[in-house]
A and B are shown apart, each in its own frame.
Chain A
């Protein structure tokens, strides 16, 4: 079949034939007109306009009511066409943004990637799941030549892309401290100054920083307003909250951070987390920390990595479970 040209004359011919015969092939041609109009970005009101012209050519004596109603339809379609055009533009922009965000998310993963080191005598498990496409939680392991392990767990307040970008800044500051200077309270003091100087006022960061000495099995730690973790003491078979004092990073420039110490015995576990774990909800109900500990107890006999994954999956499987915040859970098992 000849390709159509969307013009008044062609349209009039097809319309006339349809009015006289009501045959299928005219309808098929109408469909071709529509497709062609789409391809050529012809607006809906232009089609209506051509229809009106064609009709008036065929029936010069149209009743004035019909004539008026056709004008009415034309006006309606003009508004529709405008709204539709805006919609198309927005949809295109949205597509562009989505692809940019996914590039940024990939980049974040590359920038923030950390490896889980092998430390003799310490079994490490870590899981971190973002609630949205970009993760505002962050954990980082550093080792030195004496097999000591530095552990940072952080949560940027303020979500999404700005939070993720701030996290990259933290990671690079952490990396730039000399390896010999891994004292938790000093690291937090330094980071606090970096964040305070550089980050927007409504954004701040909570962080737990620990230093595990492989030889003495001592964990030194300090916390900048971070969600308290737990210490499982195997001997007494009890959990203790790791309570600390310290202001979140980035609020006041002169914050200091008290340092604490735990000596880990065989089978003891240090459990670090972010508030995504303690702020889990099922329906309208929060999961209380007793409940979290009960689940941890259920899986903690497993190798550390398997244990943290099973704990996360346990919550994920609950009915009506909603992850409102990024979820990070780390086990350090002696």
Chain B
């Protein structure tokens, strides 16, 4: 069980590619990588979850913290290419209504 985090710095756009599993063990690592990125004004942080095949509720917690920080710092957080199982979590919890999720591109199984 591991999570690979790849950050591509393009100035005002930061893309973050994740691969692996987001759970209680890997969530702190994700939080550490993601929070500093959204704590900059006018930045758009795009998180690509195409290769995330498992996420539990601790992962949701990280994205909530990131969303709250983004609001505070006037940056933007965007999630793209979610696999169905991961997308379902955002759907059930009602979080898809407050987090910018682009579900036009779904990640593979």
Contacts and interface: CB of A to CB of B under 8 A. Distances in A.
B61 A157 contact: yes
Interface stretch (A88-96, A103-111, A198-206): A198-206
A247 B95 contact: yes
A206 B93 contact: yes
A121 interface: no
A279 interface: yes
B56 A251 contact: no
Contacts, number: 56
A227 B92 contact: yes
Interface in A126-160: 155, 157-159
B58 A157 contact: yes
Contact of B94 (A155, A247, A279): A247
B56 A202 contact: no
Contact of B60 (A157, A159, A226, A228): A157
Contacts of A255: 94
User: Counting chain A CB atoms within 10 Å of each CB, which of B24, B31, B62, B65 scores highest?
Assistant: B24
A35 to B, nearest CB: 42
B93 A247 contact: yes
A1 to B, nearest CB: 54
Interface residues of B, number: 19
Contacts of B65: 201-202
B74 interface: no
Given A286-B85, A325-B56, A201 B64 contact: yes
Interface in B53-92: 56-58, 60-62, 64-65, 68, 85, 92
Interface string A197-217: 000011110100000000000
A251 B95 contact: yes
Contact of B64 (A159, A224, A251): A251
A324 B23 contact: yes
Contacts of B92: 225-228
A202 B93 contact: no
B97 interface: yes
* Interface bin, chain A: 20 to 34
B62 A202 contact: yes
Contacts of B61: 157-158, 202-204
Contacts of A325: 56-57
A255 B98 CA distance: 11
A90 B54 CA distance: 34
A284 B56 CA distance: 15
Contacts of B94: 224-225, 245-248, 255
Given A202-B65, A324-B23, A157 B95 contact: no
B64 A202 contact: yes
A158 B62 CA distance: 10
B58 A159 contact: yes
A287 to B, nearest CB: 12
A71 B60 CA distance: 57
A158 B93 CA distance: 14
B77 to A, nearest CB: 14
Contacts of A158: 57-58, 61
27 contacts: A155-B57, A157-B58, A157-B60, A157-B61, A158-B61, A159-B24, A201-B65, A201-B68, A202-B31, A202-B62, A202-B64, A203-B61, A204-B60, A204-B61, A204-B64, A224-B94, A225-B95, A227-B92, A247-B95, A247-B97, A251-B95, A251-B98, A252-B98, A275-B57, A279-B56, A286-B85, A325-B56
Interface of B: 23-24, 31, 56-58, 60-62, 64-65, 68, 85, 92-95, 97-98
Given A203-B61, A206-B57, 11 more contacts: A157-B60, A201-B68, A202-B31, A202-B61, A224-B94, A225-B94, A226-B92, A245-B94, A246-B94, A255-B94, A325-B57
